[in-house]
Amino acid sequence: MRADRLVATLLLMQARGRVTAAELAEELEVSVATARRDLEALSSAGVPVYPQPGRGGGWSLVGGARTDLSGLTAGEAQALFLLAGPAATASPAVKSALRKLVRALPGTFRADAEAAAEAVVVDPSRWGQGPRTERPRVVETLQDAVVRRRKVRFGYANRSGVRSERLVDPWGLADKDGTWYLLAGTDSGQRTFRVDRISAAEVTALPADRPAELELSEQWQRVVDETERHRSLVSATILFPARFLPVLRDHFGRHCAVEEDLGDGRLRVRVAAHTPLSVAEQLAGWGAHVEVLEPEAVRAELGRIGAELVARYA
């Protein structure tokens, strides 16, 4: 929409002081002719915009005029971008709106607002079966460390429960359907920490290192891809009631693919997990509803589980 571009043009000019039609066209993804017409339209409408011809020229706001479209305090700006930033990864409209708002903010607010917008990535897909938990309180402390670019110190328990103290460079947070992760730089390279295993987090006064080229969403996708690769080392082909497919997909996450509809109320489905035992454990509760065609390792684990249950409860 043209009105949308005119506002964006004005905000860009007040942020940079002077722009050329070519720069404006590249920023707003329009033609140079369109950018020039927009600049002329602002001038005709009474906005104090004027051209400066010659080498090093461009378009400027008379006297550095400013239009405050935000009215936000520094804290309000940071809070807004923390909330809206994750949505920008999935919505070009939100991304565009945030970009315009950044330009409307005073320079002293702008850096923190941009950092807040890039602090969190939201991943709505689940790993698979598992309880959804409430957002850990420590998330706010970690967000503060990310935005302020300060090292953070915390206690951490690994999956075996062994505790240690860490001092890391926080790069950003990922919310994967309610399970939070901290992506950070350490002396051993990039690491990902489950936030619900973090305790006593403290933002230090030490400046944090963050790769200039880092794209949090891309980094998180690499983490997910690697994790899912390890989670799908063993696959099994099963026959399963079609009416229960949504539940099966909730159990296995992305590692559940329908291969064929048999037409008798059953589906041929391929599921996967990291070990034969893990596949068997997730299928055992279905009893006679599920039939495992292959591999034999999963069938053997199901037989062992069944024998153990018979021995105890028969």
Domain enclosing residue 255, as ranges: 232-313
Integer distance in angstroms from the first to the last C-alpha of the chain? 71
| 243 and 300 both lie in a single domain | yes
| 57 and 105 both lie in a single domain | no
Instruction: Give the span between the Cα atoms of 209 and 276, in whole angstroms.
Output: 41
| 129 within domain boundaries | no
Q: pTM for the whole thing?
A: 0.55
Instruction: Give the span between the Cα atoms of 272 and 256, in whole angstroms.
Output: 7
CATH number where 39 lies: 1.10.10.10
Residue 46 pLDDT > 70: no
CATH number where 261 lies: 3.30.70
| 308 and 238 both lie in a single domain | yes
Residue 54 or 182, more confident: 182
| 130 within domain boundaries | no
| 142 and 218 both lie in a single domain | yes
Portion of the chain with pLDDT greater than 90, in percent: 39
CATH number where 203 lies: 2.30.30
Residue 52 pLDDT > 90: no
The model's confidence at residue 239, banded by pLDDT at 50, 70 and 90, is very high
The model's confidence at residue 1, banded by pLDDT at 50, 70 and 90, is very low
| 270 and 293 both lie in a single domain | yes
Question: Are the beta carbons of 178 and 133 closer than 8 angstroms?
Answer: yes
| 224 and 237 both lie in a single domain | no
Q: What pLDDT was estimated at residue 21?
A: 87
Q: If 0-12 CB within 10 Å is exposed, 13-18 middle and 19+ buried, where does residue 24 land? A: buried
- Taking only the tens place, the pLDDT of each residue in 57-89 is 788 766 554 545 445 455 545 555 555 555 445
| 84 within domain boundaries | yes
| 181 and 225 both lie in a single domain | yes
| 192 within domain boundaries | yes
Which residue's structure tokens are 């880092």? 214
- Taking only the tens place, the pLDDT of each residue in 189-213 is 999 999 999 999 999 999 999 998 8
| 17 and 96 both lie in a single domain | no
| 220 and 239 both lie in a single domain | no
- Taking only the tens place, the pLDDT of each residue in 101-112 is 565 555 655 666
Q: 187 by DSSP, 3-state: which?
A: coil
| 173 within domain boundaries | yes
| 242 and 185 both lie in a single domain | no
Residue ranges of alpha helices (H) inside the chain are: 2-16, 21-28, 32-44, 74-88, 92-104, 107-117, 138-148, 216-231, 245-252, 276-284, 296-313
| 42 and 94 both lie in a single domain | no
Q: If 0-12 CB within 10 Å is exposed, 13-18 middle and 19+ buried, where does residue 53 land? A: exposed
| 55 and 88 both lie in a single domain | no
- Domain count along the chain: 4
